[in-house]
Structure formats: C-alpha cells, structure tokens
Amino acid sequence: MREMALQREQEQIDRQTCVEVEISLLSTVDSPRTSGEDPDHVEALSVAQSPLPPILVHRPTMRVIDGLHRVRAAELRGQDKIAVSFFEGSEADAFVLAVESNTMHGLPLSKADRKRAAARIVTSHPQWSDRMVASVAGIAPGTVADIRRGLPGASAAEESRIGQDGRVRPINAAAGRRNAAKIIAGNPGLSLRQIARMAGISPETARDVRSRLRRGEDPLPGRQSRTSADPGAKLPAPQRSAGDAAVHGRPSGQDHSVVVERLKADPALRLSETGRTLLRLLNLHTIDATEWQRIIDNVPPHCSGIVARLADEYAVMWSELALRLGGRVTETA
DNA sequence: ATGCCGAGAAGGGCGAGAAA
DNA sequence: TTTCTCGCCCTTCTCGGCAT
C-alpha cells in the first residue's frame, strides 16, 4: 500500500521533466523542520563543484517539499533559478513526502520535528497504521501509538486501519468474532466464507472462531476477551482491582471516582454534549458514604418526603438506564 | 466454492538504553 | 534520577496460494 502510494507519487514526479524555475516563485513555508535551515549545511552545498540535484516542489502551492537547503545554497551561489521536479498530489501527501524525504536523506529532522510530523500525518491520514506513519516519520511505532492516543477523538471513529501491506485490519476484532459466534450458533451449516462475509471478518478468523466454539472455548482469544470485558484491563493493577470492585460488588465512593475518572478520559464521552452530561451526572455520585450521611442528616424534616420521592423516581430512572445499557452489553456479547 | 496453510504485518507488553 | 524511545517478542489478523 505505502509502496504503491509512493510508486504513484514517484510516477507523478517522474512524468514531469525537470525544469528551471525562478527561486523567487518558490514558497518555503510549512516545512517539517521547525528549526529552519542549517547554515553549515547550506554553506557546504553552495561550495560543492557538482550541480545540485533538482529539488521537489508541490506544483499547486509552489511549496518546496524537498530541497530547502539546496534552494538556500543556490541563492548563496547567486543563482536566481533552480532545477525543479514537480509533485501534483494533495497538500497532505506533499507534507508526507516532505517528511519522508527529510527522514530518508539529507539533514535528519530533530526528534521533536519527527513527532510533530507524525501527529500531523496521523491527523491527515487517520486510516494509516502506526507502523506506516512511523516508517515515514522515522520514529518508533509505539511512539506513533502514543501520539495517536493523545490526539482528541483521533481514533474514536476508526474501526480499522490500513497496514503497509495495504491490508485492512480491525482495531478491535472482538465485535466481529462475537457476531461470527452468533451466526455459527444459528446456522451451523454455513461455510467459513459465508460466515466471514456476514460477520465482516476474514475467513481465517471465522475458522478460528468456529474451532474455538467446537473446542468449547470462548470465541475471543485470551487477550481480547480480557480487554473487551474489562476496558480498564490495561490499567495498573491497583486501579484495575478498584474498577473490578465497582463492577462486581458494591463500590465505595473512592471506587466510583476511579471508574468515573477513567470514563472522563474517554474521548468518545467527553467530546459529545450528551457524553459530558452523563459524566456530570455520574460525577455527582462519586461522593463517599460519610458525605451521603451528612446530606441525609441535613435534609430539613419538611422536605424529607419530597426528597425521598424524588430519590425514588431518580433511582427508577437510573435502574432503567442500567437495564437498557446492560441489554446492549449482552446483545454484543 | 471450500477449507487449510504459510507469509507477512499489525498492535500490545516489557525491558534496556539514551536523553533531558 | 526520571522520562522517553526503541527494539524484541508474542499473539492475532488478513490475504494469497494450493489441494480437494
């Protein structure tokens, strides 16, 4: 995929013959290198005897994609024109090409520049896998994953990513596996390919689900069944045990606050109005038993009946909410 | 058309080393 | 000393190819 994209980019570049362009027509803004040019490198290029190789320019914007130092060196030589190859793609692709050019040859980008570039690529190409972005930006895939997590709502709407091999892989295949399990249970005679099509997974995954069911195992592999059942499974052990207590037993106010804090960090909730309303409501109940007792003790006697009735009605509303959400969980399980 | 197998790539976890 | 980043390992996934 990336190779194909690059090949297309290269073909686009190759189709254009190298031409001489007025340096004054070129734009040098929006470079991935925030620290500007290196004077020593410019100096070294300017005194070189051999002609400078053509620079790469984004034709629609006339922005220099690759060759900023060569432009400065040409200016230092007193040239008013420079050899240029044009790139015709989008601005986002031009930026990717600029980052890649700076990573693969010439003066390497600083670590901060590479991370900034990765963040921009993740935003402009959210469907690219961490490894694909990492290979362009010249940083580790894990670092790209961290950057992606840090971007608000970056992965909330994504269900799958495209790898360097051009294959589409789900970010979380648990839902597809559960679907497949249901389909197999309802129609044991279906072929793997039919199951795969209906569940939206690959035939091999369908085969794995079927094998697991035949062995009497959970359709989800160990890691997935853990993470999908307990979204906080990746948290450190002390926090996870607190969360588990909140799920399986009557939690304390402190346990509530741990769980609510975790929900507050979820972009899927905090980035929508209804999500924020829900978080505010949930947050009200994070007070501890002592605080509850203090509230109860201080309810004026003449208000007790009204407050009790309202509390009852609110409790029914929360119960209904729990039932409906609980139903959704079992539907997907 | 189907099931199976292997190759290659994905993401997560974790320890080691580098950088601040 | 702390934080960050990398690289390795493991598990999981998709897809192409092959035999039936």
Cβ A112 to strand B below 7 Å: no
Residue A333 and residue A330: Cα distance in Å, rounded? 5
CA dist., res. A113 & res. A108, Å (int): 10
Question: B13 C1' – A266 CA distance, angstroms?
Answer: 22
Q: Which of A160, A151, A183 is nearest to A1 (CA)?
A: A160
**Which residues of A in 162-221 have their CB below 7 Å from strand B's atoms?**
163-165, 167, 169, 171, 191-194, 203-204, 207
Query: Alpha-carbon Rg of chain A, whole angstroms?
Result: 29
Is this prediction's pTM over 0.75? no
For residues A246 and A253, is the Cβ–Cβ distance under 8 A? Answer: no
CATH class (in words) of the domain with range A2-109: alpha beta
What tokens appear for A19 in the block? 């031409």
* pLDDT of A214 higher than 80: no
| Alpha carbon distance A313, A35 (integer Å) | 61
At residue A226, the pLDDT reads: 44
Q: Which nucleotides on chain C have any atom < 7 A from a protein Cβ?
A: 5-8, 11-16
A255-264 average pLDDT score: 57
In sequence order, the β-bridge partners of residue A56 are A66, A85
For chain A, what are the domain ranges? 2-109, 171-229, 254-285
Bases of chain B below 7 A from a protein C-beta are 1-6, 8-14, 20
Among A225, A211, A230, A235, which residue's Cα sits nearest to residue A174? A225
Closest nucleotide C1' to the C-alpha of A222: C11
Q: What is the mean pLDDT of residues A99-116?
A: 72
A75-95 pLDDT, tens digit each: 888 888 898 988 887 888 888
pLDDT at position A148 = 76
Dihedral sign (CA A149, A150, A156, A159): negative
Question: Distance from residue A209 (CA) to nucleotide C14 (C1'), in Å?
Answer: 15
Strand C CB shell (< 7 Å): A 111, 115, 138-140, 142-143, 146, 167-170, 173, 176-177, 201-205, 208, 221-224
Pairing of strands A81-87, A55-58: parallel
Question: What is the rounded CA–CA span in Å between residue A204 and residue A181?
Answer: 14
Angle at A202 between CA A196 and CA A208, to 5 degrees: 85
With distances taken from each CA to the C1' atom of nucleotide B8, the closest residue turns out to be A165
The backbone region for A67, taken as left when phi is positive above 0, alpha when psi lies in -120 to 50, beta otherwise, is left
Name the maximum alpha-carbon separation found in chain A: 96
How many CB atoms are located within 10 Å of the residue A144 CB? 25
Quickly give A296 CA vs C13 C1' distance in Å: 55
**Stronger pLDDT, A124 or A253, i.e. the higher one:** A124
